[in-house]
Chain A
Amino acid sequence: MVVSLLLALPAAAGLWLVSGGRALGVRPARLLTAVTAALTLGLAVAVVVLGAEVDRPWLPELGVRWSFGVDGVSTPLLLLTAGIGLLVALHAWVEVPAGGSPATFLGCLLVVEAGALATFAARDAVLFLVAFEVVLVPMWVLVGRYGDPHDPRARTEAAQRFVLYTAVGSTTMLLGILLLVASAGTADLRALAGGAGLGTGVQLGVAVLLVVGLAVKVPVVPLHTWLPPAHTTAPTAGSVLLAAVLLKMGTYGLVRLPVASVPEGFGVLAPGFAVAGAVGVVWGGLVCLVERDLKRLVAYSSVAHMGFVVLALAAGSQTGLQAALYGNVAHGVVSALLFVLVGGLKHRWGDVDLAVPRPALRETSPRLGFVLVLGLAASLGLPGLAGFWGEVLAVYAAWAPADDRPRVVLVVCAVVAAVGAALAAAYSLRVAGIVWVGDRPDPDVARTPDTSGMERWILAALALAVVVLGVAPMLVMSVTADAVAGVVGAR
């Protein structure tokens, strides 16, 4: 009951805002959105605490059940989604992009949140896919309608690219899910976890379809090319949702479906997957070294961070899974922080071209400057901040992979990824050097106004989360530990 409410509340409020309440003014709309998001967060906590679940027939023709519930793997992501959902709702006090009615914008945010929550709570493979698809249209609207107002053509193109890439991924995944369900005779993810006892050939077929499909969403190099344009053009709230929530749906799907249900098939693909992850780390890092658009730079750093998660998943050990799940949450928080910050800078400056000399952020707006440095430090994996544990454990997991993985390949990948981490330090310092240290103050140029009001509180909450996750990683790891042992131990 509580689970149904958790999903129905943001979905109903969001759908009402995009249909009946379209004409609502910005004030009532954002108040409604914020209240809905806050209640949703409360419900998410209640679901986790109570262990609430729902299970009833939905499509008997396909053997699909309306089955939602949470376990160790989904709990952190569910809470992350609900938390980020509240923050993007509050962000409406900072900025509501032009391009359409504010109610539609906020409604789309809520529908995306509802879809993501349903994806993380679904315990049925087909239901997971349906929930996965729910976010597509509202996100397309967010990018295509409310994105960067300067270039309508780029906006349309980025939105289209996002939808079509994701649709390729999810339809390929659908074939994998259908094959899995047809061969295993059940769509229940709990029954499928730990290997459904399929033959090696079928396992490999399912794993190829699922991994390719989900790799688009993660995204894994070379299927990542939809991400930078989508991030660059999306409005701030859309970017935050995209990075902190939507990408997680890809890695979560990888843990739930191929890793848990067809472990042998995934094992065959793991070396190639690890290489793709390591290439992603280095590729993202190299692009970040030369990228001029700060927003696009943060997007590419997402590709690099997801590379670590992919590498950790490929390692196949318990540590690897833990690192992947932790890295997921950490990236969610860090990227949300950076996108709120960069979105704010873009709002102030009009663009975020690094080649344009600007006064030093540390002088004109010290609070923004501090948060930027914090975000960059977390992004490069400084110990004590959120980014550190995910990356260190990922490299460690690849260094000491599960027994059935080819050690040489993974060790090489670990070394390459470690080099990539050094690149992260280089590009983070580059950005800090340009933006934080900045150019000499020019009296003619308008000062960058410092953060205040709601934006300050959003940034403070995210910064706090970055520090807390970095200092106390066990907050997440203790939650995921049992579930991870269940997935790996059953192999």
Chain B
Amino acid sequence: MSALVSVDWLVLAPALAPAAGVVLVLAGDALAGGRAGRWALPLAAVTLVVGAGLALRGTVAGADAPLRTLCLPAPDGACLWTAGPRTSTLQAAVLLAAAAGLALLHDGRPRPRDGAVTATLLLAATTGGVAVAAARDLGTWLVALELATVPAVALVALRGSRPAVHGALSLLVTSLASFALLVLGAALWLTATGDAAFSRPSAAAAWAVPEQRAVLLLAVTVLVAGLGFKLSLVPFHAWTPQAYATTDLGTALFLATASKLSAVAALLVVAGALVDLGGATTPVVLVLGLPAVASLLLGTVVALRQDDPVRLLAWSTIAQAGWVLVPLTALSDAGARAAAAYVLAYAAASAVAFAVLSRTGARTLEATRGLLRREPLAGGALLIALLVLAGLPPGVIGLVTKILALSAPVTAGVWPVALAGVLAVVLGIAVYLRWVAVLLGAGTTPTALEEPGTGRRRSSVVVLVLGGVVLVVTSALPHVLLASAS
């Protein structure tokens, strides 16, 4: 086998760690029987954190010398796995977000009885999410993306309750549709470029020929639509609020962060090949820009009316997905960097918000009234997370990533998207400040309304503290995050 392709196990480690975790958890479950449920989640979390540590190794590698492996020998020596600093950062973020999801699952009441199955599904989805970020060829990309999606559907379905099954059903239908679209898109890409990899030269060559250009445009359209389901872009967003609201917080956190990170990583693989198209790129900009504008506006407007914090976060996810697409409309390297930085900041803030909800058990905005006084730690973390999402100092990292995101379309002259961004900033501030006002308000709600046993939710506290620290540090030194996303 090594004659055919070279394999560097250490480079593959970020994806191998969760895969090894699957094996460990299943083996433990087989050996220990029903008692495995107790330690399956912590074991899985440990493998994820180890994987994240190994992924961070790639962030220090230079952008011009990415970690590569699974390379074909000759003649062109293409590598199926290419992880530059940005990819490595996204991989580490996927792994850590999945670990945060596990932490919330661990705190969930009732605690999942089938811990081993839950952990296996989550680890499998994470493996796919990590692999898709480094995939550069159509085959690996498709398989990894599907591996990232299908276990997530099962995860939602597993939560037992009837509405959860409904949520899973709608998620399943959409992910089947999205998979069909992605396969079709990959096939069209292959037809248009004659290249089984996402590479700039072949995309540019195909764009230069009018007949191939039409096919390539169709391929991009279908691929964006397929990824749109995963990213919750309007008009492919309908499953999001339902799935978030009916599942438990740990799974919702996983869907909102790890799943989105891997979807953006997959999108960046496609968008990266579209940078040097040359010639009239307006159709491609339209394909990316229309869902971006629609998500920005619809997501924020609907989020304005939500009283369930999970639904509010679901709709804000839709809006933030639009924000990730905004810099990509510039079709430039700076745009890709801005999108990666944006999704990283968003994921950290979202994880903190979900962790606070898990910690407090709040199911309405009103239940968080005066949280800042009752629980300064949780309230403070939620406050900074909301300000980052709104893009207001002291959540400087949110503002800086928004500046970066708007900078790309302004430089490229994509004004409609930039102007929609202005509107989305203002509406978004209204959305998040509405919640902040509740947080700051006088604590009139008796704490007796909360779920019992919230005092023992230590894993959620760990997530919200670590996430809060990440937000504060990157707000003080935004360069840290931007450098790792470049």
Residues of A within 8 A of B (CB): 15, 19, 22, 57-62, 100, 115, 126, 129-130, 133-134, 136-137, 140-141, 144-145, 156, 160, 163-164, 167-168, 171-172, 174-175, 178-179, 181-182
Contacts and interface: CB of A to CB of B under 8 A. Distances in A.
Interface stretch (B141-149, B221-229, B352-360, B422-430): B422-430
A136 B394 CA distance: 10
Given A130-B396, A163-B433, A178 B410 contact: yes
B403 interface: yes
Contacts of B483: 60-61
Closest 5 CB pairs of A and B: A182-B411, A178-B410, A134-B393, A171-B422, A171-B425
Contacts of A22: 373, 376
B418 A175 contact: yes
A145 B440 contact: yes
B30 interface: no
Nearest to B400: A59
Contacts of A140: 433
6 contacts: A59-B478, A61-B337, A136-B392, A140-B433, A168-B422, A168-B426
Interface in B346-394: 373, 376, 380, 387, 392-394
B35 interface: no
Among B387, B400, B422, B479, the most chain A Cβ lie within 10 Å of the Cβ of B422
B437 interface: yes
A61 B404 contact: yes
Among B373, B407, B479, the most chain A Cβ lie within 10 Å of the Cβ of B407
Contact of B394 (A61, A137, A167, A178): A137
Nearest to B430: A164
A57 B477 CA distance: 11
B165 interface: no
Interface string B403-446: 11011001100000011011001100110010001001010000
Among B337, B419, B433, the most chain A Cβ lie within 10 Å of the Cβ of B433
Contacts of A134: 393-394
B152 interface: no
A15 B394 contact: yes
A59 B482 contact: yes
Contacts of B407: 62, 178, 181-182
Contacts of B394: 15, 134, 137
Contact of B429 (A62, A115, A156, A164): A164
A129 B393 CA distance: 11
Given A59-B479, A141-B440, A179-B410, A171 B393 contact: no
Nearest to A140: B433
B470 to A, nearest CB: 17
Contact of A58 (B380, B410, B479): B479
Contact of A130 (B337, B373, B399, B422): B399
B486 interface: yes
A60 B429 CA distance: 27
A62 B403 contact: yes
B479 A130 contact: no
Given A61-B479, A137-B387, 13 more contacts: A22-B373, A59-B400, A61-B482, A100-B442, A130-B393, A130-B399, A133-B399, A160-B433, A174-B403, A174-B422, A178-B403, A178-B406, A178-B411
A167 B429 contact: yes
Contacts of A167: 425-426, 429
Contacts of A163: 429, 433
Contacts of A182: 407, 410-411
Contacts of A19: 376, 380
A61 B486 contact: yes
A175 B410 contact: yes
Interface string B463-486: 000000000000000110011001
B204 to A, nearest CB: 24
B423 to A, nearest CB: 9
B207 to A, nearest CB: 25
Nearest to B437: A144
Contacts of A136: 392-393
A130 B396 CA distance: 8
A19 B383 CA distance: 11
Contacts of B376: 19, 22
A174 B406 contact: yes
Contacts of A144: 437
B205 to A, nearest CB: 29
A126 B407 CA distance: 11
A133 B478 CA distance: 16
B386 to A, nearest CB: 10
B478 A171 contact: no
Contacts of A100: 440, 442
Contacts of B406: 174-175, 178
A47 to B, nearest CB: 22
B77 to A, nearest CB: 31
Nearest to A134: B393
Given A164-B426, A178-B410, A182-B411, A60 B403 contact: no
A57 B425 CA distance: 27
A414 to B, nearest CB: 34
Contacts of B430: 160, 164
Contact of A137 (B334, B392, B442): B392
Contacts of B479: 57-61
B400 A130 contact: yes
A133 B418 contact: no
Contacts of A145: 440
Given A59-B482, A60-B479, A137 B393 contact: yes
Interface in B183-229: none
A15 B476 CA distance: 13
A367 B88 CA distance: 69
A140 B393 CA distance: 12
A376 B421 CA distance: 43
A137 to B, nearest CB: 5
Among A61, A62, A140, A145, the most chain B Cβ lie within 10 Å of the Cβ of A61
A61 B430 CA distance: 29
A22 B440 CA distance: 12
Among B380, B430, B437, B483, the most chain A Cβ lie within 10 Å of the Cβ of B437
Nearest to A15: B394
Contacts of B429: 163-164, 167
A77 B238 CA distance: 51
Contacts of B380: 19
Contacts of B396: 130
A19 B381 CA distance: 11
Given A61-B482, A163-B429, A175-B418, A129 B403 contact: yes
B395 to A, nearest CB: 9
A149 to B, nearest CB: 12
Contacts of B399: 130, 133
A22 B383 CA distance: 15
A115 B396 CA distance: 13
Nearest to B428: A167
Contacts of A160: 430, 433
A19 B376 CA distance: 8
A300 B121 CA distance: 63
A243 to B, nearest CB: 22
Contacts of A156: 437
B234 to A, nearest CB: 21
Nearest to A104: B440
B365 to A, nearest CB: 14
A130 B292 CA distance: 25
Nearest to A101: B373
Contacts of A129: 403
Contacts of B433: 140, 160, 163
Contacts of A181: 407
Contacts of A168: 422, 426
A179 B403 CA distance: 12
